[in-house]
């Protein structure tokens, strides 16, 4: 290159570094080196033409200072006579973007000079060398991405953190005997974990996602990332939703579920779901915050809410959202037996009536019979009390609980045997590796494999301890008084907390609905499928609590397995009862007169 090639030209300098882990002085070093290069070739750097981007990736041209430099090139007259950078990778690490910059600079006849790699875009063979250098820079990113992912996979398989821990967890350093950091162990955060449990409990009580966020904000609970640069002002519904779908809270960790890539020409990252075969799954029971029973209930309610916003295949309208705000505990529970539409409130505060939506709002249903809300509510609770207090109902419930405990015992025994077999195989492999090391094989691969196997053995032992602890949990069968008391507790809950009470009431009926069908005599008959085992779920201990003649039984079963959502379809009992009486009782059939008497 001509030693005086830059003489008399207003020369711009561009410097960039990509990682927040690099020193900011890297920019100063680049500018200094470029300035010395310009001085040796007879030029002077204009301070107004020094463009720097800090901690910004070269995979995109969307960089503030770079864009400002390219805008200056478009001014007339052009204030830049030449551009100097440390090497071409500072301009771009994307092959296509680099080609766009090359064409633009050639059109403007502004040379780009690389101090370290000797590139000069004004030279005769610049296109060839520039293209090769750009391709190498692009391949470097691909290689770096692949090696970074490989390292993260190793951390995930070893049970260590790979960054971005969910709310409720924290990490601590793990060091080897020489004091070198080999990873970061994931631990429960004693301050945040109770908040996670509270979110799940609030949702099961019938509180909406937005309602949960409002409660936490009102109590000044710090939201996720409160101390990071990505901090949020408070809790929002989408944050709560992410909690309820995160399997790590039940000790199931996944890695590589998403593949992230940048939108071409920008620094905006988008993800695609990976093939399920690529996903790494690892059981880490020591990270469990939520029990399986609560998780199952939450997932079932999420599915019901999702179904309410999803149009059915036949084009029918969705039902009401479980747990949503409504003026009555029966809102979203009663449906017209003629057209299937919801029964909604109408009338004043002294006497409110439930009417078919399609009749009152659309006129498409012939059911014009109104149903007093207070009468229907009282009759439903009375019918439940009668149903659960009958000797036949109590006998049935005790029988079904005993059967479920037997099923759970057999299932837990098989699960225990499976974990024990895996532990035996893992310990056998550990013994083989220890023998290798004793015989002189001290390779890093053998040592790392041994650590991974020891971590797997720890997971299996923790799982076995958890199953055995559940096996020792005492269970007992319900007394008649306890069965009736459950219904009385529901009545009290309906008076004290309408939202929670309504959610518990919905769980007693399959699909959370009761169909009310008008009769020619002027009264309503309710039909539904009752889930009797739901009423016996202990909401405090999450364990079925019962005594059979005072004796206590210890069964190998999952604590809290007898829950509303775990109730099999075979336990859904068809049920019909009266929810209102006609103005003239003489018009009522004799069979229903006896039921009302």
Summarize the confidence of residues 571-585 as an average pLDDT: 67
Share of the chain above pLDDT 70, in %: 76
Contact status, residue 35 vs residue 103, Cβ threshold 8 Å: no
Return the pLDDT at 453. Answer: 77
Return the pLDDT at 549. Answer: 31
Residue 230's pLDDT band, with cuts at 50, 70 and 90, is low
d(CA 502, CA 333): 9
Tell whether the model's pLDDT for residue 288 goes beyond 70. Answer: yes
Return the pLDDT at 384. Answer: 84
Contact status, residue 370 vs residue 388, Cβ threshold 8 Å: no
User: Which residue has better confidence, 143 or 475?
Assistant: 143
Return the pLDDT at 328. Answer: 74
Return the pLDDT at 94. Answer: 85
Summarize the confidence of residues 8-35 as an average pLDDT: 82
User: Which residue has better confidence, 286 or 484?
Assistant: 286
Return the pLDDT at 310. Answer: 61
38 SS3 class:
helix
Return the pLDDT at 195. Answer: 94
- Signed CA dihedral, 324, 326, 328, 333: sign only: negative
Other beta carbons less than 10 A from residue 348's beta carbon: 7
pLDDT tens digits for range 78-134: 899 999 999 888 988 888 888 889 999 989 999 999 998 888 888 888 888 888 888
130 SS3 class:
helix
User: Which residue has better confidence, 344 or 3?
Assistant: 344
Residue 222's pLDDT band, with cuts at 50, 70 and 90, is confident
What value does the mean pLDDT of the chain take?
77
Summarize the confidence of residues 258-282 as an average pLDDT: 74
* DSSP string for residues in 372-407: EHHHHHHHHHHHHHHHHHSHHHHHHHHHHHHHHHHH
Percentages (nearest 5) of helix, strand, coil residues in the chain: 50, 15, 35
Return the pLDDT at 240. Answer: 92
Contact status, residue 184 vs residue 173, Cβ threshold 8 Å: yes
Tell whether the model's pLDDT for residue 330 goes beyond 70. Answer: yes
Return the pLDDT at 269. Answer: 72
Which tokens sit at 24?
């900011």
Summarize the confidence of residues 306-333 as an average pLDDT: 60
Return the pLDDT at 480. Answer: 64
Contact status, residue 196 vs residue 190, Cβ threshold 8 Å: no
Return the pLDDT at 46. Answer: 85
What does the angle CA 106 – CA 110 – CA 114 come to, to the nearest 5 degrees? 95
Contact status, residue 171 vs residue 161, Cβ threshold 8 Å: yes
pLDDT tens digits for range 247-268: 999 988 887 777 777 676 666 7
pLDDT tens digits for range 159-217: 777 777 888 888 888 777 777 777 788 888 899 999 999 999 999 888 888 889 999 99
Tell whether the model's pLDDT for residue 1 goes beyond 60. Answer: no
Tell whether the model's pLDDT for residue 381 goes beyond 70. Answer: yes
């Amino acid at each position: 290159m001509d030693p005086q090639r830059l003489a008399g030209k207003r020369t711009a300098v561009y410097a960039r570094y990509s990682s927040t882990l690099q020193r900011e002085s890297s920019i100063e070093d680049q500018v200094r080196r470029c300035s010395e290069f310009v001085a040796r070739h007879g030029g002077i750097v204009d301070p107004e033409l020094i463009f720097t981007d800090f901690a910004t990736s070269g995979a995109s041209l969307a960089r503030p200072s770079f864009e400002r430099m390219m805008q200056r090139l478009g001014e007339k007259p052009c204030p830049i006579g030449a551009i100097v950078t440390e090497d071409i990778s500072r301009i771009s690490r994307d092959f296509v973007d680099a080609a766009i910059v090359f064409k633009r600079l050639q059109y403007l006849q502004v040379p780009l000079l690389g101090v370290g790699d000797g590139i000069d875009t004004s030279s005769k063979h610049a296109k060839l060398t520039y293209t090769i250098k750009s391709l190498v820079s692009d391949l470097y990113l691909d290689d770096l991405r692949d090696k970074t992912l490989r390292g993260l996979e190793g951390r995930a398989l070893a049970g260590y953190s790979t960054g971005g821990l969910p709310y409720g967890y924290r990490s601590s350093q793990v060091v080897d005997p020489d004091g070198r950091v080999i990873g970061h162990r994931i631990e429960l955060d004693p301050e945040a974990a109770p908040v996670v449990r509270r979110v799940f409990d609030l949702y099961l009580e019938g509180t909406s996602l937005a309602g949960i966020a409002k409660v936490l904000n009102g109590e000044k609970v710090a939201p996720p990332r409160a101390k990071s640069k990505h901090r949020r002002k408070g809790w929002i519904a989408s944050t709560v939703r992410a909690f309820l779908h995160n399997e790590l809270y039940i000790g199931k960790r996944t890695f590589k579920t998403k593949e992230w890539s940048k939108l071409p020409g920008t620094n905006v990252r988008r993800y695609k779901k990976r093939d399920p075969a690529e996903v790494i799954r690892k059981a880490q029971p020591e990270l469990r915050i939520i029990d399986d029973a609560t998780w199952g209930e939450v997932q079932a309610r999420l599915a019901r809410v999702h179904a309410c916003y999803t149009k059915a295949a036949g084009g029918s309208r969705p039902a009401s959202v479980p747990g949503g705000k409504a003026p009555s505990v029966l809102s979203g529970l009663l449906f017209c037996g003629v057209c299937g539409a919801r029964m909604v409130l109408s009338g004043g505060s002294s006497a409110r009536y439930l009417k078919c939506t399609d009749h009152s709002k659309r006129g498409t249903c012939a059911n014009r019979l109104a149903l007093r809300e207070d009468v229907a509510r009282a009759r439903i609770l009375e019918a439940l009390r009668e149903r659960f207090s009958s000797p036949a109902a109590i006998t049935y419930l005790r029988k079904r609980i005993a059967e479920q405990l037997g099923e759970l015992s057999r299932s837990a025994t098989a699960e225990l045997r499976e974990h024990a077999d895996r532990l035996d195989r893992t310990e056998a492999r550990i013994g083989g590796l220890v023998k290798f090391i004793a015989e002189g094989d001290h390779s890093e691969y053998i040592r790392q494999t041994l650590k991974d196997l020891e971590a797997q053995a720890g997971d299996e032992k923790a799982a076995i301890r958890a199953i055995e602890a559940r096996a020792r949990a005492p269970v007992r069968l319900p007394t008649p008084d306890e069965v009736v008391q459950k219904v009385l507790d529901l009545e009290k809950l309906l008076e004290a907390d309408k939202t929670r009470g309504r959610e518990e009431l919905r769980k007693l009926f399959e699909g959370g609905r009761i169909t009310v069908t008008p009769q020619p005599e002027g009264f309503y008959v309710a039909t539904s499928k009752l889930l009797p085992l739901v009423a016996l779920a202990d909401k405090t201990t999450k364990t079925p609590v019962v005594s059979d003649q005072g004796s206590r039984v210890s069964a190998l079963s999952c604590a809290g397995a007898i829950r509303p959502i775990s109730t099999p379809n075979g336990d859904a009992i068809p049920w019909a009862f009266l929810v209102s009486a006609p103005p003239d009782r003489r018009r009522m059939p004799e069979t229903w007169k006896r039921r009302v008497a």
